[in-house]
Homo-oligomer: A and B are copies of this chain.
Amino acid sequence: MRSYTPVRFTDVAIEGRFWRERLETVLTRTIPSQYELLRETGILESLTIPVPPPPLRIPPGAHGLSMQVFWDSDVGKWIESASYVLAHRRDTQTEARIDEITDWLAQAQLPDGYLNCWYIGREPDKRWTNLRDRHELYNAGHLLEGALAYFQATGRRRLLDILCRYVDHIAEVFGPGPGQKRGYCGHQEIELALMKLYRATGTRKYLELAAYFINERGHTAPHYFDVEARARGEDPAAYWFSTYEYSQSHMPVRQQRTVVGHAVRAMYMYSAMADLAAELADDSLKQTCERLWDHVTTKRMYVTAGIGPSSSNEGFTQDYDLPNETAYAETCASVALIFWAQRMLHLDNDGRYADVLETALYNGALSGLSRDGTHYFYQNPLASDGSHVRWKWHPCPCCTMNVSRLVASVGGYFYSVGSDAVAVHLYGSSSTSLTLGERTVRLRQESDYPWSGSVKISIDPDAPTRFTLKLRIPGWARSASVKVQGQELPTPEVQRGYIELDRTWQAGDVVELELPMPVERVHANPLVQADVGRVALRRGPLLYCVEQIDHPQATLGLLRLPRDSALNAVTRADLFDGIVTVVAEAGEAGAGAAAAPLYANRPFDTRPATLTAIPYFLWNNRGPNRMQVWLPEI
């Protein structure tokens, strides 16, 4: 059912300064520093079974659990990130590190294939007794993704073989057959990992296991998590989270109409559902995905494509409940939204999926990683009183490796290939070599995107070839012009977010796309109470914000943007690695407000002020700072 296949990041050379710099930072700083922290915090050591497990070094987390039950997944995500690095450049030290981890895992693995270091080391008699809370299958999924990435980067299959033995064991334990457990994981993840494994190996039982987990989820006669709670001697009604909406297991997935619960769990599950819909041509799953997509993107998503406003469930609350300063908007959730968006895009070839993918990539996800590559946000609020700062590590370091694996593989989101078409989804200098039927086509893109909307694409087939070149016209673009071989096309038609150029392409062909990038005001739906009377600023795919540091003369919360004020894009070579800022004449309300009364019977005065906004993803890279995305409009 997938008419397009993404071009793997390994086949895309990132050449533009925007992503090149970030990629370089992740390769040289992020991945090595993550390894050091995995070692320092005892996470790596926890794999060295059968050495007696060390005392827990991290205070027990919520619900009496240590974060240690998730540690296998952290290692799996680091292996995946590091393997993406190896795909860019081989590195014997990183390979040695992964091989050492592989040794530990090989030693830990039980004869039947079981491989969860927490349970093997600490509670060997309790495995598979608490799928609801203990992340066993989730850990398996991340280790599997890591093993696959390592195999794909290096061709070494020892780690993958270990994981395949584990998956084979899981396939024996779980399923609808006699003697099998009718369970599934409280934290979805293994489903999408199994789909990756299926696509890499073609082995259908992996797809079937993924389908089983998805199809079984949320059946309630009785609910599996109730059954296993009773088996543990617990009252299911005493469930610490109280509702299975938390893990999207409150009803069978095809009946789900609203995005609820823990955001990352939801996104990982929807990703697997989209994979299954594509591989099985399952219309009911596809329609479910589409409904859920509509719901989250029209009712429950920040303008940054952050999702999940609440810290209490790390997830969704009510429609239009999008508070700014307390926004949870976990980095992982935006990264996972990108995973899902890419799958939806390939299921349906509609630019609206790419629009959200791009918004999340440049805003809600990228904000999670500092410019120096070694500091992180877990939460990505849209306003801050200065107390929200990046950290070097976290007791639950999921976001660190999620953002690094995203950046390390960002090239994989640029291009897709169909049977007689090539689609360009993202812009920025890069080159790739595609196989289109029997032809090889080299594409080279030159663009300073996202700072500029001018894109030049050189097409270089090994022989003249007829195919459709699909160029995405982003949702933010009010207009677009296209030249082919220097000839401007008359009013190119945009179909579902793309312009289609169907012709016989030959070496030396050049397409030029011009996407004007004025700074624009974004208005939120009036039902979003948090944004009433406010506007956000956007230029191209980038959302902007104001930081206190750029406004030494004004109090950030008092800045007001007149509705008719001109919004100027100003290039600043001196800021970061050279960025485009937005500068506008604005006002500062209530000059001397701190000395003024709390309430008055007439509006407070406003004095002139200049507003300087920077891209949202760059905030808090100059120390603690007050910040706002949504600006009061006057």
The closest CB in chain B to the CB of A383 belongs to: B529
| A523–B301 CB distance below 8 A | no
Chain B residues whose CB sits within 8 angstroms of the CB of A242 once the complex forms? none
A558: CB under 8 A from chain B? yes
Tell whether A215 is near chain B: CB-to-CB under 8 Å: no
- A604 partner, pick from B523, B529, B589, B604, beta carbons under 8 A: B523
A624 to chain B, nearest CB (A): 15
> At the interface, yes or no: A603 with Cβ under 8 Å from chain B?
yes
Cβ-closest chain B residue relative to A298: B598
In the assembled complex, A533 has its CB within 8 A of some CB on chain B: yes
Within 8 A of B (CB), among A551-568: 555, 557-558, 560
For residue A37, CB closer than 8 A to chain B, the reply is: no
Determine the distance from Cα of A600 to Cα of B381 in the docked complex, in whole angstroms.
20
Q: Which chain B positions have C-beta within 8 A of A298?
A: 597-598
CB-CB under 8 A for A598 and B297, given A532-B632, A557-B529: yes
Asked if A200 is at the interface of the complex by the 8 Å CB criterion, the answer is no
State how many copies of this chain the complex holds.
2
Tell me, in angstroms, the Cα distance from A298 to B597 when the chains sit together: 6
Complex CA–CA separation, A325 to B323 (angstroms): 12
Asked if A221 lies at the interface with its beta carbon under 8 angstroms from chain B, I say no
A604: chain B residues at CB < 8 Å are: 523, 525-526
With A533-B532, A533-B534 as contacts: A599 and B557 at CB distance below 8 Å? no
> At the interface, yes or no: A463 with Cβ under 8 Å from chain B?
no
Q: Least Cβ distance of A557 to chain B in Å?
A: 6
Output the nearest chain B residue to A527 by Cβ-Cβ distance. Answer: B593
Q: Which of A372-390 contact B (CB under 8 A)?
A: 383, 385
A464 to B325, CA, bound (A): 65
Task: With CB as the reference atom, state the residue of chain B lying closest to A559.
Answer: B526
A520 within 8 A of B: yes
- Which chain A residues in 304-331 approach chain B with CB under 8 Å? 318, 325
CA distance A522 to B558 in the complex (A): 18
State whether A524 touches B598 (Cβ < 8 A).
yes
Binary CB contact string for chain A from 494 to 533 against chain B (1 if under 8 A, 0 otherwise): 0000000000000000000000000011111111110011
Interchain CB contact under 8 A, A598 and B529: no
Let me know if A596 is at the binding interface, CB within 8 A. yes
Alpha-carbon gap, A527 to B593, bound state (A): 7
Interface string of A204-219 (1 = CB under 8 A from B): 0000000000000000
Cα–Cα distance between A555 and B525 once the two chains are bound (Å): 13
Determine the residue in chain B with the shortest Cβ distance to A301: B598
Taking CB atoms, residues of chain B closer than 8 Å to A297 are 598
> A529-B557, A532-B533 are contacts. A523–B299 as well, Cβ < 8 Å?
no
- Which of B385, B521, B593 interacts with A601 by CB under 8 Å? B521
Q: Mark A526-546, 1 if CB is under 8 A from B, else 0.
A: 111100111010000000000
Q: Please determine whether A599 and B527 come into contact, CB atoms closer than 8 angstroms.
A: no
From B299, B558, B634, contact of A527 by CB (8 A): B558
Residue A303 is within 8 A (CB to CB) of chain B in the complex = yes
- List 9 other contacts, CB 8 Å, given A525-B598, A532-B632: A299-B598, A476-B601, A520-B601, A521-B602, A525-B604, A526-B557, A527-B593, A532-B533, A533-B633
| 6 closest residue pairs by CB, A with B | A533-B533, A526-B589, A526-B590, A532-B632, A527-B593, A526-B593
A residues at B contact (CB < 8 Å): 297-299, 301, 303, 318, 325, 383, 385, 476, 478, 520-529, 532-534, 536, 555, 557-558, 560, 589-590, 593-594, 596-604, 632-634
A to B CB contacts below 8 Å, 5 in the list: A523-B599, A526-B557, A526-B558, A533-B632, A536-B599
